[in-house]
Amino acid sequence: MASNAINALTISKYTLWKDAYYGTGGFETGYYLTQHSRESETKYNKRREIAYYLNYVAPTTNAHVDPIFRKNIKREYNDNEIFKQFLSDADANGTPFEYFMKYAAINSKLNGITFIVVDNVTAQPSSLADVLKGRALPYVYLVEPSAVIDYKITSHGRLTYFSYLEPDPVTPCAYQIKTWTENLWSVEGDTEKSFRTGENTLGVIPIVAFKSRITSANDLFPPSEFSSIVKTNLSVYNKCSWSDEILLNQTFAVLTYPASESSKTLVLGPNNVLGFDGVSSKFAPSFIAPPADSAQTLMNDRANLIQEIYRMANLSLVTGVKTAQSGVSKEWDNEAKSDVLANFAGNTEMAERKVISFFEMWSQQNIDYKCEYPRDFALPDAAAELDKALKAKDLDFGRLFNIEVAKNVISVLFPKLQQEDTDAIIDEMKEKAEDAANASPANNLTIEQMRDIITSSLPALAPEEIDAVMKRMSSMMDDNSDQQE
């Protein structure tokens, strides 16, 4: 059984990741800027004041979470009033459960893990009406990894001890320590009177370790996937400040002009003159400025770092990365991102199921809960799909084959089209196909040849469905033959 206390260095690491996502902390105050070895404190403070942060951490993190929640998650459960209220208000603060899970997913993806606590109110009313009226039912909240003080786990990764900081509900801007064991819970504040404890009737610690990716079961604090991206964005932040330094101090050229001795004492700047002895130095008046090589080097390096951020985030196809790619290369990039999203969707689904299982234990309700997160995140190329559809149509494998091709085209061109509208389009296509078949003679293919084509083109069709199709086609051919006679 392992026990680990979280040190200050770990907390600082999570603070940097959070600041990078929200653009707060040292990114907002400028203290994440590196001070030059020959830079005065006054000049450094001035540079901090005008620093700006180009945030690439937030959009790349969101790009790994938003697609999972773009469509409604499929959830099935028993008709239960207590659970319905939980879904509409999961944290006892009015947050719907689906919104809570998305926030938890962002936190998990950014930090590598987040902890979902499923707690319950201490005093339980005796009637269902009182439970619903007072919302006396389980609730959830997040514990970020930086708030964890100590923990113990078995070799299989099961928590046996978990201690963390949480806001003090009485004292503003203060924290209390909450501790869970398999049999007890306790809360400890600044005073002895604030200490409270009670029995954990579940026999297990009701905390879900929501990891961003699959790791060893006993690795409770896996490294964040975005650690390198945050460090790279930090470098971009510094390079932006250095570029500003060059622009402010070197962009405006200084005029050199023949002047008297007294003029040589002028303070240099874009609005001043650098005087020189026009008698001994035979130079014409001109403007002088430092070379632009340093600024160009910084710009090129910054552009390369931004491109590397997108590459590390599996977002090489996003706007801003202009490298031309072949069709095969694009498919590989789409496949890589789709796999990352599918893996995280699986972890999110597993975490949600665990949360609901703890809800069932606390509420002693049988929810019979099922949820299904999407697994297919392939980004179809509309032009490529249309080209495939036209080639497939030229094969003329028959009405059913063309309908399946049409369904695929509709899903690509109109991904948000309602199902009833899609069905209406397909029904219209079927009517036109039937009218065309009735108005024209049958082709020269035999019935057995048609059966072979349909079987190979639509392997998902059951034998009885194929027989029904063949019977209808045979009937249509007979009708057409009678009409011709």
Choose one of 288, 307, 334: the last residue of a domain.
288
Q: Please check whether residue 407 lies inside any domain of the structure.
A: yes
**pLDDT above 90: residue 451:** no
pLDDT of residue 295: 79
Q: What integer is the mean pLDDT of 300-325?
A: 72
Give the lowest-confidence range in 2-6, 183-187, 422-426, 466-470. 2-6
Quickly count: other Cβ atoms within 10 Å of residue 201's Cβ: 10
Whole-number pLDDT of residue 319: 40
What value does the mean pLDDT take over residues 55-80? 90
Cβ neighbourhood burial of 178 (10 Å; 0-12, 13-18, 19+): buried
Give the separation between CA 86 and CA 102, rounded to whole angstroms.
Answer: 16
* Rounded CA separation 62/225 (Å): 13
Mean predicted confidence (pLDDT) in 368-389: 72
- Give yes or no for residue 354 having a pLDDT over 80: yes
Looking at residue 317, what is its pLDDT?
A: 45
Cβ-contact 427, 481 below 8 angstroms = no
* CB neighbour class for 104 (10 Å; exposed up to 12, middle 13-18, buried from 19): buried
Strand-pair category, 113-119 with 207-211: antiparallel
- Identify whether 48 is part of a domain: no
Long-range (24+ apart) CB contacts under 8 A made by 92-100 are 92/135, 92/139, 97/140, 98/69, 98/72, 98/73, 100/140
Instruction: Report the b/e string of 261-277 with b at 16+ CB within 10 A.
Output: eeeeeeeeeeeebbbbe
pLDDT in tens, 104-117: 999 999 999 999 99
Q: What is the mean pLDDT of the chain?
A: 79
pLDDT tops 80 at residue 464: no
**Does 233 reside within a domain?**
no
Q: Is residue 407 over pLDDT 50?
A: yes
pLDDT of residue 326: 47
Is 247 inside a domain boundary? no
Q: What is the pLDDT of residues 231-271, one digit of tens each?
A: 999 999 999 999 888 887 766 666 666 665 555 555 555 55
CB 101 within 8 A of CB 141: no
Is residue 468 over pLDDT 80? Answer: no
Crossing angle between the packed helical segments 463-484 and 447-457, to the nearest 10 degrees:
140
The answer to which of 128-142, 206-220, 260-274 has the lowest mean pLDDT is 260-274
R_g of the chain computed on alpha carbons: 33
Buried-state track 398-430, b at ≥16 Cβ within 10 A, e below 16: bbbbbeebbeebbebeeeeeeeeeeeeeeeebe
Q: What is the pLDDT of residue 157?
A: 85
> What is d(CA 301, CA 245) in angstroms, rounded to the nearest whole number?
16
Q: Which residues have C-beta within 8 Å of that of residue 454, sequence separation ≥ 6?
A: 397, 398, 400, 401, 461, 466, 469, 470
Residue 449 belongs to a domain: yes
Predicted pLDDT of residue 53: 95
Q: How would you classify residue 112: left for phi > 0, otherwise alpha for psi between -120 and 50, otherwise beta? A: left
Instruction: Tell me what the mean pLDDT of segment 413-442 comes to.
Output: 65
Return the ∠ at Cα 357 (arms to 355 and 360), rounded to 5°: 115
Pick the last residue of a domain from 230, 263, 288.
Answer: 288
Q: How far is CA 419 from CA 373, 382, 400, 410, in A?
A: 19, 20, 19, 11
> Whole domain around residue 284: which residue ranges?
252-288
Instruction: Give dist(CA 389, CA 394) in Å, integer.
Output: 9
Q: What is the distance between the alpha carbons of residues 145 and 10, in angstroms, rounded to a whole number?
A: 9
Q: Is 72 domain-assigned?
A: no
Tell me what percent of the residues of the chain surpass a pLDDT of 70: 64
Alpha-carbon distance of 140 to 386, in angstroms, equals: 46
Answer yes or no: is 405 within a domain.
yes
What pLDDT does residue 322 have? 47
Q: What is the mean pLDDT of residues 15-29?
A: 94
Domain count, the chain: 2
Could you give the angle at which helices 382-395 and 399-413 cross, rounded to 10 degrees?
A: 170
* In-domain check, residue 324: no
User: Residue 266 corresponds to which amino acid?
Assistant: L
Query: Of the residues 241, 260, 288, which one is the last residue of a structural domain?
Result: 288
In angstroms, the CA 213 to CA 225 distance is 9
Ordered DSSP codes for 75-102: EE----HHHHHHHH-SSSSS--HHHHHH
